[in-house]
Chains A and B, each alone.
Chain A
Amino acid sequence: MKRIKSYYRHCFKTTILIILILVQLPFLAQAEPIIVVENKISTEQRNDGLTIVISDQGSKRQEIQYFTLILKTGFAHDPVGKSGLTNLTNEIIKYLFSYTNALYVDYQSYADYSAFHFAVALSDFNQFCNQLDQIIRLDALLHYDLCNELIRYHLNQPKTPGLKAFSQLYSLVYGPNHPYTSIFYPNYEQLDINEVNKWFRQIYKPNNLIIASSVKLPQEFLRRPAGRDLTEAVSLSDISPTAVDAGFELKWTPVHDNMATVYLGFETAKFSEEGVLATNLLQKYLDQRLWKLIREDNGLSYDPEVYYQFTGSSSAPMLLVAFHSLTENTGAAINLVLGEFKKIAAEGIPEAEVQKIMERERKQRKLMGKDLRSTIKTAALYGLTGQKWLIDHEDYFTRLTNETKMVPQVITTGLARLKISVAGPEATGQYLEDVTLETK
C-alpha cells in the first residue's frame, strides 16, 4: 500500500514538475537576457530593443534618484534639407518632460545622440516613469504655437564671430557638407510642427532609446500599445566619413570684432576606437599646459581651453583648442600651440605630468563613484557605447596606462591634418603670415 502511495506521490510530483516546466517554457523562450557587467551595474536588452542600464544602490537608497534617457539620434542624423529637426523635436519633448514629476530636466544635443537627464524623488519615481511612458508613446506633439515660438527664437539668435570661426573649423575638419556641420546651418524656415511630428513618430521608439536609472523601471514601462508601431526598427542614415583633404590648413574670415577668435582642431578616435583614452589624456595635459604657456607665461590670451568629445558639447570626434586674442597676438599664440603640439609629438607627455593627471583622475573617479548623478550619466553612455572602461575603474586605468604611449602617435597624426580657423578684424591676416608647421 505504501509503495502504491509512494508511486502515486512520485507521479503527482513529476506531473506537477512537467506542467511547471511546460508553463514556464514559453516565458523562458522569450526571457530577455540580463547581463551583469559589474557588481552595481546591470544591463538589460529588451526584446523591443530598449536598452536599460540599472545602477543598483542596494539598501542605501537616497531620496533623490537620477534617470538618463538617451535617444540614439543626434543632430547629424537630421534629414537632408531639414537641419535642426532633431533639436527642435527634442526641445518640444523637453517642454513636455518639464511637466512631469521630475525635479529637474536637462537636455543636451550631440552629433550622434541626444540626452535628457532627470532628478526624481524616490516616492514619485513610478509616477514619473508613467508620465515619461505616456509622452514617448504619444502619436503626435500637438504644440503648434510652441513649435513656431522655438523656430522664431532660433531664427533670431545672433551669428556671433565665435560661431563663424567654429562653423568654419567644422567645415575644414569634416568637409563643408558633412552631417556634423549641420548644426551650424539649420533650415528652420523649412521646419514646422508637421515635420516635427513625422520625425518624432520615426525616432521616439524603444529600440532607439537607452535608459539608465538608479531605480528599477516598472515592468510595464513602454510596453503598452501606442497609436504607431513602436516595434518597427528606427532607420537612420549612416554618418558618412569625412571628405576633406588631409593636410595642414589655415583659414581666416574677416569679421567686425575687436579681437580674434581662434579654433585649432583635428579629427580623433571615436568612443569605440583605439586611441580614445590617449586623446583624453592629451586633452587634459594640453588644457593645463596651454593655459600656462599662452596665458601665464606669455600673456597672449586670457581664455585658452582644450576640448575633446568627453568635455565638449558635441560628440563629433575632435580635439579642439579654442582661444581669443588681440589681433596682433593671434599668430604668436597659434605658433605657441603648434610648438607645444610638436614637442609632444617628439617627446610625449612628461612622465611626472602623466602621473599627476592619473592621480587627479583617480580622485575624480572616486568622487564620481559617490555621486549618483554622475554614475547614471556614465551608465547611460556605457549603454550607448558598450565601452566597459566607462563603468569599470580598473579597466579604465589599465587602458589609460596602456594608451599613454600612443600620445605622440595621436598628435603626430593630428598635426598632419590639423585645421585652424580664425575669425578676426581685417588686420588679422597680416599676423597669420608667420603661422607655420615648419620648425624655425
Chain B
Amino acid sequence: MTLIVTGAFNPDELFNLLKGVQSYAAENIFTPAQRLIRDLPNNVTIEDYLNGETYQILFGFELNELTGKDLLVAKALPLIFYYEFYRYDHLTNRPLDYNISLFNLTDRFYLVFTYRDCQNQYSLDLNTWHQQNLVRFYKYLETKNFDSFLERLSLQLSKDSKIIISDPPALNNYYTNILFEPSKLTVKDLKTIRSLKSKDISNLVKKYLQGKPYQKVVIKAH
C-alpha cells in the first residue's frame, strides 16, 4: 500500500497512526497482464445501449514500451485537439471531435481515438470517412507547426506547478500520477516539453501510427 498525504499535518502523528496498520508481505499474486488488444480480432462490431449516440468508433494502437521524447509526445497528443478546439469537416458537415486517450497496461502503452456520433447511423461510407480521417490526422500531425501548441502546453504546466505548491488536493493528484499513472502529463514533464519540437510529433506518427495495424471497435446503438 502507498499512502499519499499532502497538506498541513504532523508527519509524526501520522506515522504513529500507521504503526497500528497491520502490514503483510504477500507473494506476488498478480499474473502477467493479458495483451488485450492483440487477443482480439482486428475489427469488432458490437451492439449496446449508448447514451444518446447513434454509434461509437474506436481505433486502438498498441505503442509498446515508450520512453523519452516518444512517451512525452504520446502524453501530449490527447491535448492537441483540446487546444485546437472543435474541428469540423465542412465538406461532409460533420464534426471532427475525436477524443484521443493514452493509457497503459503494465509496461505497454495504448493510444485510442474515439468518435461519438449523434447525427448519423453507422454505415460503410462513414467507416471509410473515419479511416480517411485517420490518414488526414497523420498528415496534419506530420506537417503542421505545433510550436504555439507546445509553448502553450509549457505555459499551462508552468501554471500548474504554481498551483500545486498551494493546493494540497492538486499536489496529492500530482504524486498519484507520478507514482501510478505514467500516461498522464505532469509538471515533472515540463523541462522535456520545453525541448520538444514539431519534428518530434512527426517522428512519433511515422514510428507508431502511420501504416501500422490498429484495432477497430464499432459500438452501434442497440
- Residues of A participating in the B interface, judged by any CB pair closer than 8 Å: 62-64, 103-104, 119, 121, 146, 148-150, 152-153, 156-163, 256-258
Contacts and interface: CB of A to CB of B under 8 A. Distances in A.
A163 B52 CA distance: 9
Contacts of B119: 156
Interface of B: 49, 51-53, 85-88, 95, 97, 116, 118-119, 159-160, 162-163, 165-167, 221-222
A296 B101 CA distance: 35
B86 A256 contact: no
A153 B162 contact: no
B162 A63 contact: yes
A323 B51 CA distance: 16
Contact of A256 (B97, B118, B160, B222): B222
A64 B165 CA distance: 9
Contacts of B166: 62-64
State the main secondary structure of chain A at its contact with B.
mixed
Contacts of B51: 158, 160-162
State the main secondary structure of chain B at its contact with A.
loop
B163 A64 contact: yes
A376 to B, nearest CB: 14
A257 B162 contact: no
B167 A256 contact: no
Contacts of B86: 149-150, 152-153
6 contacts: A104-B159, A146-B85, A149-B88, A156-B119, A157-B118, A162-B51
Nearest to A157: B118
Contact of A103 (B49, B52, B159, B222): B159
B165 A63 contact: yes
A256 B49 contact: yes
Contact of B95 (A121, A152, A161, A162): A152
Contacts of A163: 52
A64 B88 contact: no
A163 B162 CA distance: 38
Contacts of B87: 149
Contacts of A157: 118
Given A153-B95, A256-B49, A158 B118 contact: yes
B118 A156 contact: yes
B104 to A, nearest CB: 27
B97 A159 contact: no
Contacts of A149: 85-88
Nearest to A373: B167
Contacts of B52: 158-161, 163
Given A149-B87, A156-B95, 18 more contacts: A63-B162, A63-B166, A64-B162, A64-B166, A103-B163, A148-B88, A150-B85, A152-B86, A152-B88, A156-B119, A158-B51, A158-B53, A158-B116, A159-B52, A159-B118, A160-B52, A163-B52, A258-B49
B118 A64 contact: no
A149 B51 CA distance: 23
Please give me the 6 A-B residue pairs with the lowest Cβ-Cβ distance, nearest first.
Answer: A158-B52, A160-B52, A64-B166, A153-B86, A103-B159, A149-B86
Nearest to B158: A103
A153 B160 CA distance: 27
A114 to B, nearest CB: 20
Contact of A156 (B49, B97, B159, B162): B97
A29 to B, nearest CB: 43
Residue of A64, A103, A121, A157 most packed against chain B (CB within 10 A): A103
B151 to A, nearest CB: 12
Contacts of B160: 103
Nearest to A258: B49
Contacts of B221: 256
Nearest to A154: B86
Contacts of A119: 163
Contacts of A256: 49, 221-222
A296 B51 CA distance: 26
A121 B160 CA distance: 11
A63 B162 CA distance: 9
A64 B53 contact: no
Nearest to B166: A64
A149 B84 CA distance: 10
